[in-house]
Amino acid sequence: MVTATPSESRYALSFTTGALLAREGSLLAPVYVEVRNWEKVRDRAVEDNLLQARTHRTGVRLVRETVKRLSVLTDREVELMDELTAPERGHLMWVAACRRYGLIGEFAEEVVRERFLLLASTLRYEDFDGFVRSKALWHDELATIKDSTMQKLRSNVFKMLVEAELLSESCQIIPAVLSDRIAALLSDRAPSDMRFFPTRSAA
Protein backbone atom coordinates (compact mmCIF):
# COMPACT_ATOMS: atom_id res chain seq x y z
CA MET A 1 0.00 0.00 0.00
CA VAL A 2 1.24 3.50 -0.83
CA THR A 3 1.72 5.87 2.08
CA ALA A 4 2.06 9.60 1.49
CA THR A 5 4.93 11.44 3.15
CA PRO A 6 5.66 15.16 3.44
CA SER A 7 8.51 14.80 0.96
CA GLU A 8 6.27 13.68 -1.87
CA SER A 9 5.56 16.08 -4.70
CA ARG A 10 2.27 17.90 -5.04
CA TYR A 11 -0.67 16.03 -6.53
CA ALA A 12 -1.68 17.11 -10.01
CA LEU A 13 -5.40 17.89 -9.83
CA SER A 14 -6.17 18.84 -13.43
CA PHE A 15 -8.30 15.81 -14.25
CA THR A 16 -11.63 17.63 -14.48
CA THR A 17 -11.67 17.64 -18.31
CA GLY A 18 -13.51 14.69 -19.83
CA ALA A 19 -13.73 11.43 -17.91
CA LEU A 20 -11.96 8.23 -18.98
CA LEU A 21 -11.24 9.59 -22.51
CA ALA A 22 -11.18 6.11 -24.04
CA ARG A 23 -12.69 7.28 -27.34
CA GLU A 24 -10.30 10.22 -27.49
CA GLY A 25 -7.36 7.97 -26.70
CA SER A 26 -8.28 5.60 -29.52
CA LEU A 27 -8.35 8.54 -31.97
CA LEU A 28 -5.00 10.05 -30.97
CA ALA A 29 -2.97 6.87 -30.41
CA PRO A 30 -2.65 6.07 -34.16
CA VAL A 31 -1.38 9.61 -34.79
CA TYR A 32 1.39 9.07 -32.25
CA VAL A 33 2.27 5.72 -33.84
CA GLU A 34 2.72 7.64 -37.09
CA VAL A 35 4.70 10.66 -35.87
CA ARG A 36 6.24 9.46 -32.54
CA ASN A 37 6.05 12.93 -31.04
CA TRP A 38 3.36 14.02 -28.57
CA GLU A 39 3.72 17.70 -29.36
CA LYS A 40 3.06 16.98 -33.03
CA VAL A 41 0.09 14.82 -32.05
CA ARG A 42 -1.35 17.68 -30.00
CA ASP A 43 -0.84 20.23 -32.78
CA ARG A 44 -2.39 18.04 -35.48
CA ALA A 45 -5.31 17.00 -33.30
CA VAL A 46 -6.17 20.62 -32.52
CA GLU A 47 -5.65 21.87 -36.07
CA ASP A 48 -7.75 19.09 -37.65
CA ASN A 49 -10.24 18.85 -34.76
CA LEU A 50 -9.64 15.11 -34.60
CA LEU A 51 -11.74 14.80 -31.46
CA GLN A 52 -14.68 16.53 -33.16
CA ALA A 53 -15.16 19.04 -30.36
CA ARG A 54 -17.93 21.59 -30.73
CA THR A 55 -15.67 24.53 -29.99
CA HIS A 56 -11.98 25.21 -30.48
CA ARG A 57 -11.50 25.86 -26.77
CA THR A 58 -13.09 22.54 -25.80
CA GLY A 59 -11.01 20.77 -28.43
CA VAL A 60 -7.79 22.22 -27.07
CA ARG A 61 -8.65 21.11 -23.52
CA LEU A 62 -9.65 17.60 -24.57
CA VAL A 63 -6.58 17.12 -26.73
CA ARG A 64 -4.25 18.42 -24.04
CA GLU A 65 -5.74 16.12 -21.40
CA THR A 66 -5.81 13.06 -23.65
CA VAL A 67 -2.18 13.57 -24.64
CA LYS A 68 -1.19 13.94 -20.98
CA ARG A 69 -2.64 10.54 -20.22
CA LEU A 70 -1.50 8.71 -23.33
CA SER A 71 2.05 9.97 -22.84
CA VAL A 72 2.44 7.95 -19.62
CA LEU A 73 1.79 4.73 -21.54
CA THR A 74 4.65 2.82 -23.13
CA ASP A 75 5.03 2.90 -26.90
CA ARG A 76 3.90 -0.73 -26.98
CA GLU A 77 0.73 0.12 -25.04
CA VAL A 78 -0.05 3.03 -27.36
CA GLU A 79 0.56 0.85 -30.42
CA LEU A 80 -1.95 -1.70 -29.12
CA MET A 81 -4.72 0.87 -28.60
CA ASP A 82 -5.91 0.51 -32.18
CA GLU A 83 -6.58 -3.23 -31.86
CA LEU A 84 -7.93 -3.42 -28.32
CA THR A 85 -11.54 -4.25 -27.55
CA ALA A 86 -13.64 -1.55 -25.87
CA PRO A 87 -13.26 -3.11 -22.38
CA GLU A 88 -9.49 -3.49 -22.87
CA ARG A 89 -9.20 0.12 -24.00
CA GLY A 90 -11.17 1.23 -20.97
CA HIS A 91 -8.84 -0.69 -18.67
CA LEU A 92 -5.73 0.75 -20.30
CA MET A 93 -7.06 4.31 -20.12
CA TRP A 94 -7.87 3.76 -16.43
CA VAL A 95 -4.24 2.75 -15.97
CA ALA A 96 -3.17 5.89 -17.83
CA ALA A 97 -5.23 8.06 -15.47
CA CYS A 98 -3.77 6.25 -12.44
CA ARG A 99 -0.20 6.70 -13.69
CA ARG A 100 -0.70 10.32 -14.66
CA TYR A 101 -2.45 11.36 -11.47
CA GLY A 102 -1.01 10.07 -8.21
CA LEU A 103 -4.22 10.89 -6.35
CA ILE A 104 -6.27 8.65 -8.65
CA GLY A 105 -3.70 5.86 -8.57
CA GLU A 106 -3.51 5.85 -4.78
CA PHE A 107 -7.30 5.97 -4.48
CA ALA A 108 -7.54 3.00 -6.85
CA GLU A 109 -5.04 1.00 -4.83
CA GLU A 110 -5.75 2.07 -1.28
CA VAL A 111 -9.53 2.38 -1.42
CA VAL A 112 -11.13 0.69 -4.46
CA ARG A 113 -8.92 -2.42 -4.53
CA GLU A 114 -8.73 -2.59 -0.73
CA ARG A 115 -12.51 -2.44 -0.33
CA PHE A 116 -12.88 -5.16 -2.95
CA LEU A 117 -10.36 -7.41 -1.17
CA LEU A 118 -12.16 -6.81 2.13
CA LEU A 119 -15.43 -7.91 0.46
CA ALA A 120 -17.00 -4.45 0.65
CA SER A 121 -19.30 -4.40 -2.36
CA THR A 122 -19.91 -0.66 -2.64
CA LEU A 123 -17.90 2.50 -3.15
CA ARG A 124 -19.38 5.71 -1.78
CA TYR A 125 -18.60 9.38 -2.24
CA GLU A 126 -17.75 9.39 1.46
CA ASP A 127 -14.93 6.92 0.77
CA PHE A 128 -13.35 9.38 -1.66
CA ASP A 129 -13.84 12.32 0.68
CA GLY A 130 -12.28 10.46 3.60
CA PHE A 131 -9.35 9.40 1.44
CA VAL A 132 -8.70 13.00 0.34
CA ARG A 133 -8.93 14.24 3.93
CA SER A 134 -6.33 11.68 5.00
CA LYS A 135 -3.97 12.77 2.22
CA ALA A 136 -4.52 16.45 3.05
CA LEU A 137 -2.48 15.94 6.22
CA TRP A 138 0.59 15.77 4.00
CA HIS A 139 -0.57 17.70 0.93
CA ASP A 140 -1.49 21.36 1.34
CA GLU A 141 -2.95 21.46 -2.17
CA LEU A 142 -5.71 19.13 -0.94
CA ALA A 143 -6.29 21.00 2.30
CA THR A 144 -7.06 24.22 0.44
CA ILE A 145 -9.20 23.09 -2.51
CA LYS A 146 -12.68 24.58 -2.84
CA ASP A 147 -15.77 22.46 -2.27
CA SER A 148 -16.76 22.92 -5.92
CA THR A 149 -13.38 21.61 -7.07
CA MET A 150 -13.63 18.68 -4.69
CA GLN A 151 -17.02 17.80 -6.14
CA LYS A 152 -15.64 17.91 -9.69
CA LEU A 153 -12.66 15.71 -8.81
CA ARG A 154 -14.86 13.18 -7.02
CA SER A 155 -17.47 13.15 -9.76
CA ASN A 156 -14.88 12.63 -12.48
CA VAL A 157 -13.11 9.79 -10.69
CA PHE A 158 -16.43 7.98 -10.22
CA LYS A 159 -17.31 8.58 -13.90
CA MET A 160 -13.95 7.11 -14.91
CA LEU A 161 -14.60 4.02 -12.81
CA VAL A 162 -18.05 3.57 -14.36
CA GLU A 163 -16.73 4.03 -17.90
CA ALA A 164 -13.91 1.55 -17.19
CA GLU A 165 -16.61 -0.93 -16.05
CA LEU A 166 -15.12 -1.15 -12.57
CA LEU A 167 -18.12 0.44 -10.88
CA SER A 168 -21.84 0.21 -11.59
CA GLU A 169 -24.14 3.20 -11.84
CA SER A 170 -25.42 2.24 -8.37
CA CYS A 171 -21.82 2.34 -7.05
CA GLN A 172 -21.32 -1.42 -6.78
CA ILE A 173 -17.69 -2.42 -7.28
CA ILE A 174 -17.33 -4.62 -10.37
CA PRO A 175 -14.47 -7.16 -10.27
CA ALA A 176 -12.04 -6.44 -13.09
CA VAL A 177 -11.89 -9.09 -15.79
CA LEU A 178 -8.61 -8.28 -17.51
CA SER A 179 -7.64 -9.89 -20.79
CA ASP A 180 -4.40 -11.86 -20.92
CA ARG A 181 -2.62 -9.20 -22.98
CA ILE A 182 -3.66 -6.34 -20.69
CA ALA A 183 -2.68 -8.34 -17.61
CA ALA A 184 0.69 -9.08 -19.20
CA LEU A 185 1.31 -5.40 -19.94
CA LEU A 186 0.43 -4.38 -16.39
CA SER A 187 2.53 -7.12 -14.83
CA ASP A 188 5.59 -6.01 -16.81
CA ARG A 189 5.94 -3.08 -14.42
CA ALA A 190 7.28 -3.10 -10.88
CA PRO A 191 5.20 -2.74 -8.88
CA SER A 192 2.54 -4.29 -11.07
CA ASP A 193 -0.19 -1.96 -12.27
CA MET A 194 -2.69 -4.69 -11.42
CA ARG A 195 -2.83 -2.82 -8.10
CA PHE A 196 -5.11 -0.25 -9.72
CA PHE A 197 -7.92 -2.78 -10.20
CA PRO A 198 -10.50 -4.55 -8.04
CA THR A 199 -9.07 -8.01 -8.61
CA ARG A 200 -7.54 -10.80 -6.55
CA SER A 201 -4.74 -11.28 -9.06
CA ALA A 202 -1.32 -10.53 -7.56
CA ALA A 203 -0.35 -6.88 -7.75
157-182 per-position pLDDT tens digit: 999 999 999 999 999 999 999 999 99
Under the banding of pLDDT at 50, 70 and 90, the label for residue 5 is very low
105 and 51 assigned to the same domain: no
What is the residue-averaged pLDDT of the chain? 94
98 and 141 assigned to the same domain: yes
45-100 per-position pLDDT tens digit: 999 999 999 999 999 999 999 999 999 999 999 999 999 999 999 999 999 999 99
CA angle 69, 61, 110 (to 5 degrees): 40
Domain count, the chain: 2
Under the banding of pLDDT at 50, 70 and 90, the label for residue 201 is confident
Q: Spell out a b/e string for 37-59, using b for 16 or more CB atoms within 10 Å of the CB, else e.
A: ebeebbebbbeeebbebeeeeeb
Q: What is the pLDDT of residue 11?
A: 96
Q: Pick the last residue of a domain from 62, 83, 104.
A: 83
Residue 1 has pLDDT above 50, yes or no: no
112-149 per-position pLDDT tens digit: 999 999 999 999 999 999 999 999 999 999 999 999 99
Q: Pick the last residue of a domain from 33, 56, 83.
A: 83
In a domain, 10, yes or no: no
Which structural domain range is residue 70 located in?
Answer: 22-83
Quote the CA–CA distance of 76 and 44 in Å, as a whole number: 22
Q: What is the CA radius of gyration of the chain?
A: 17
Residue 6 has pLDDT above 60, yes or no: no
22-39 per-position pLDDT tens digit: 999 999 999 999 999 999
126 and 47 assigned to the same domain: no
Q: What is the pLDDT of residue 183?
A: 95
Residue 4 has pLDDT above 60, yes or no: no
In a domain, 9, yes or no: no
In a domain, 4, yes or no: no
64 and 30 assigned to the same domain: yes
What pTM was estimated for this model as a whole?
0.93
